[in-house]
């Protein structure tokens, strides 16, 4: 039975990857951080009671900032495959916490690679690094592929650039099977609530149900190549099953704007929006309502506004990936379209919003967490 170790197992990708590897018959070890309340919601459904012998899914307390802890876990698990998905992964937050972001995202990667080397696991353990389209930042070529030069635009992207190159360096220096998946944005109902797609689908559902009045966004012109996390974790595994390690761009090859994603999400609950105004004054107004999913709004309501607090000191305006290498060498093609993904996310958030609305209707006070 193959053993995998996943950092960031409690995150969006970590949870889908753990499910995927368990289905493939792996024993899966994950690193979870100590928190003051439970932080395992995304993996609770696959969690096995620690008292069960030979459980296939085991969680270890750990942190990417703690090398002794990482080395101890690596020694205990002796993994065949390590998936380094753990990160301070929010670009905007990285401007607020640049040093911490570098410690986790850059140095954390080095710590794992050093643990492999220190324990003499260079020939046994394969290493996947969660690299990112944010490396391209100020894009030098459209679409972006494996050979496109990098120009990172945030402390997050700069930290990930170190991680990218240290993985390449340990491959070249010590023969470790290390590869970078340069993944473009990928989303799902498990996406963190402060990333733009989930922020939008959640707010649209809440507004439709009369729980929130308005969605405040930053740069709605930003263009992204959005895929589904389930398709992308499959590719993370495929990358580690090759004869020799290589780096791959993973993307859909299509892009839409944040504004278009808002329009698409609203349409899922039967709300037709009209956008007007420019820049900081842009708004979206309800012009028609179909079906009965949006009793909380009426035509003429302004439900989207711009708030400058969500602008970034340096923005990545456009990202569009070219996944040709992944298609040709690995036979990977994304199966879920952005429209299908948006529908799945809105349906999930709408079911939560309906539960909240029902509680409110029966006199229970509810609070909705916001950024």
Q: Which does 310 bind (CB under 5 to 8 A by kind): ligand NDP, ligand GDR, none?
A: ligand GDR
Q: How many residues sit close enough to ligand GDR to count as binding (CB under 6 A)?
A: 22
Q: Which pairing describes strands 186-187 and 256-257: parallel, antiparallel, or unpaired?
A: unpaired
Q: Is 199 in the site for ligand GDR (CB under 6 A)?
A: yes
DSSP letters for 168-216: HHHHHHH---EEEEEEPPEE-TTS-TTSHHHHHHHHHHHHHTTS-S-EE
Torsion of CA 137, 138, 140, 144, to 10 degrees: 30
Phi, psi dihedral angles at 289 (to 5 degrees):
-130, 130
Site track for ligand GDR across 127-156, x = CB under 6 A: -----xxx----------------------
Comparing CB distances to ligand NDP, the nearer of 228 and 259 is: 228
Q: How far is CA 184 from the centre of its chain?
A: 9
Task: Candidates 3, 33, 72, 354: give the one binding ligand NDP (CB under 6 A).
Answer: 33
Residue matched to tokens 């003051």: 36
Closest separation in Å from C-beta 197 to ligand GDR: 6
- Residue 54 makes CB contacts below 8 A (sequence gap 6+) with none
Question: Is 282 an active-site residue?
Answer: no
Q: Catalytic residue among 16, 128, 156, 177, which?
A: 156
Closest alpha carbon to 104 in 159, 164, 61: 159
Question: Is 156 an active-site residue?
Answer: yes
Task: Candidates 196, 294, 304, 330: give the one binding ligand GDR (CB under 6 A).
Answer: 196
Question: Is 147 an active-site residue?
Answer: no
Q: Is 59 in the site for ligand NDP (CB under 6 A)?
A: no
Phi, psi dihedral angles at 343 (to 5 degrees):
-60, -40
Q: Are 189 and 345 in contact (CB under 8 A)?
A: yes
Residues contributing to the site for ligand GDR (CB under 6 A) = 89, 91-92, 132-134, 184-185, 194-196, 199, 217-219, 222, 224, 258, 310, 312, 315-316
Binding stretches for ligand NDP (CB under 6 A): 7-8, 10-14, 31, 33, 35, 39, 63-65, 85-89, 104, 130, 132, 183, 185-186, 192
Residues assigned a catalytic role: 132, 134, 156
């Amino acid at each position: 039975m193959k053993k995998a170790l996943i950092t960031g197992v409690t995150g969006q990708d970590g949870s889908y990857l753990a499910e995927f590897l368990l289905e493939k018959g792996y024993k899966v070890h994950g690193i979870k951080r100590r928190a003051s309340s439970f932080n395992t919601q995304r993996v609770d459904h696959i969690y096995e009671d620690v008292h069960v012998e030979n459980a296939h899914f085991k969680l270890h307390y750990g942190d990417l900032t703690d090398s002794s802890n990482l080395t101890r876990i690596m020694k205990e698990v002796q993994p065949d495959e390590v998936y380094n998905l753990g990160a301070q992964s929010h670009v905007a937050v990285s401007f607020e916490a640049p040093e911490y972001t570098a410690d986790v995202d850059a140095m954390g990667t080095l710590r794992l690679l050093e643990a492999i080397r220190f324990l003499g696991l260079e020939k046994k353990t394969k290493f996947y690094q969660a690299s990112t389209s944010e490396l391209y930042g100020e894009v030098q070529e459209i679409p972006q592929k494996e050979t496109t030069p990098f120009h990172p635009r945030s402390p997050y992207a700069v930290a990930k650039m170190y991680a990218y190159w240290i993985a390449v360096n340990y491959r070249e220096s010590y023969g470790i099977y290390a590869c970078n998946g340069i993944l473009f944005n990928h989303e799902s109902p498990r996406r963190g609530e402060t990333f733009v797609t989930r922020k939008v689908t959640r707010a649209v559902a809440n507004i439709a149900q009369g729980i929130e009045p308005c969605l405040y966004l930053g740069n709605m012109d930003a263009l992204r190549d959005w895929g589904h996390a389930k398709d992308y974790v499959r590719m993370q595994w495929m990358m580690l099953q090759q004869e020799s390690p290589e780096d791959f761009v993973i993307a859909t090859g299509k892009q839409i704007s944040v504004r278009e994603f808002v329009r698409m999400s609203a349409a899922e609950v039967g709300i037709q929006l009209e956008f007007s105004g420019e820049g900081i004054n842009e708004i979206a107004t309800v012009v028609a309502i179909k079906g009965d999913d949006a009793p909380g709004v009426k035509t003429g309501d302004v439900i989207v506004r711009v708030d400058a607090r969500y602008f970034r000191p340096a923005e990545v305006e456009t990202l569009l990936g070219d996944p040709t290498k992944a298609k040709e060498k690995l036979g990977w093609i994304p199966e879920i379209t952005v429209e299908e993904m948006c529908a799945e996310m809105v349906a999930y958030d709408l079911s939560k919003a309906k539960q909240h609305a029902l509680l409110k209707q029966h006199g229970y006070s509810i609070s909705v967490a916001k950024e």
